[in-house]
Structure 1
Amino acid sequence: MKALIFGGSGALGRSMVKVFKGWKVTSVDFNKNEECENIIIKNASDINFLKSELNTLEKFNCIVCVAGGWTGGSIKDENVLQVYEDMNQKSVVPALVCSHLATTQLSRQGLLIFTGAYSVFNAPTPSMIGYALAKTAVHTLAIQTAVSTHLPEDSAVITLLPETIDTPANRQAMPKEDFTKWANPDQVAGLVRSWAEGLNRPKNGAFVHLRVKNGSIAPDFL
């Protein structure tokens, strides 16, 4: 079994790599993850380089896009365009690359995972306009990809909708919050692995709200 983790050196990406232990895992990121094979990129949009590095007949059973980032700011801010461009590069471009790769690199009955945002999916978020635009684009890409005729037979596109993930960066940014209400990244990864192995796998095109209840993730399939 093979998994491709785009963003495998980030906090959630490292959990994905760890939890998928026993699979042949490849991380795509700007930095190396010592726990798996790596493709180090300089530009997330360099599809040709990435495809040349992935030139193999053995396809991936699961492609997971967990690359991203967060920046706040409203439409009034003078740097609104720069913020949007940054969010686009960090969230939309990796998701689009993974979608493209899935047309040739994903196996039959494979799984393509996008990472969206429940806050953006659920209601307007004008205090983080660049982030909202980027995540909305990811949600739209997921919808379009799920109905594409170019994906392998019986494959599924699933979009994660976390609220807040319990990462070191989030703890540092919000030290007074109740961390027990945040999604544990290992639990998120465990959920994805179970779907990849066919357990309680959501239908193609599903959006999954990662609610946290009593310290555990209670997914709502939307």
Structure 2
Amino acid sequence: MTKQIIIYGGRGALGDCLVRYFRSKDFKVTSIDLKQNEQADVNVTLADVQDLEKQAEFIKEKLQSSLNGEPVEAILNVAGGWAGGNAGDKDFIKNSDLMFKQSVHSSLIAASLASTFLKESGLLVLTGAAAALDATPGMIGYGAAKAATIHIGRSLAASDSGMPKSSSVLTIAPITLDTPMNRKWMPKADTSTWTPLEYIAELFHKWINDPSSRPTNGSVVKLTTKGGNTELSYH
């Protein structure tokens, strides 16, 4: 039986890397995003005008027809983005709203999907940020959204959360990912401190294939890259 996986945010830089990687490992890949990923086997294409409840209902309906009742190995939520701004910034509220829609809404929907479609002992991954482990005065909306995502992950790992039996919920907390957009906006940065997307794809693959390799359920996994080498620490 073909293994199935859902990648929420499949058209972002990390999401696209994951789609390609898991297709190469013979997974049936479903991408959820605002735009289609032509490399995916199945696309659930969202309308950004939908509210949280309608978006969740739309996605569940599409998945019920495409998954044919077969549970998925993992749901990887890598949707998100970045916007700065302190409380005095003219776009503070606008940017904060966007950050919550991208990170918190997608995490809540991914959790709901996991309760329905994830197999027992399956894996749900959410995407937080190392910055959200501390104060973020220059990017309050971003930090708050990522902190909320971390809270969602920890709560889902607790008993009576609605998650499938023996499943795992892990929240990654990268510092900076090595994406084309980051290279464009930070051309003089030391990219040896940026975490390669392929490293994350391989890490997720290991966690999916070998549940014993996963950190403790509910862990926030900080990724720190130095000199091109990435180390994990748990919070």
Q: Which TM-score tier does this pair reach, normalised by the shorter chain?
A: over 0.9
Counterpart contact for 2:192–2:226, Cα < 8 Å: no
Structure 1 residue aligned with 2:22:
20
* Pair 1:216-2:229 in alignment: yes
- Residues 1-222 of structure 1 mapped to structure 2, 5 A cutoff: 1-21=3-23, 22-36=26-40, 37-43=42-48, 45=52, 46-55=55-64, 56-121=68-133, 123-149=134-160, 150-198=162-210, 200-222=213-235
Gaps of 5+ in 2: none
Task: Provide runs of 4+ in structure 1 moved above 4 Å.
Answer: none
Counterpart contact for 2:83–2:99, Cα < 8 Å: yes
Q: Residue 79 of structure 1: CA displacement? A: 2.6
Q: Residue 192 of structure 1: CA displacement? A: 0.8
Deviates more, 1:71-80 or 1:23-32: 71-80
Q: CA RMSD in A?
A: 1.3
CA-to-aligned-CA distance 1:42-97 (integer Å, 9 cap, x gap): 14731111111111310111000000010111111233211111111111110110
CA-to-aligned-CA distance 1:1-40 (integer Å, 9 cap, x gap): 1110000011000111122121111000011111112111
- Identify the structure with bigger relative contact order (alpha carbons < 8 Å, sequence gap 6+): 1
Tell me how far apart the structure 1 counterparts of residues 99 and 204 of structure 2 sit (CA, whole Å).
24
Amino acid at match of 1:41: L
Q: Residue 209 of structure 1: CA displacement? A: 0.9
Counterpart contact for 1:103–1:151, Cα < 8 Å: yes
Amino acid at match of 1:128: M
Counterpart contact for 1:163–1:182, Cα < 8 Å: yes
Gaps of 5+ in 1: none
Q: Residue 216 of structure 1: CA displacement? A: 2.8
Tell me how far apart the structure 2 counterparts of residues 111 and 127 of structure 1 sit (CA, whole Å).
33
Identity among equivalent pairs (%): 37
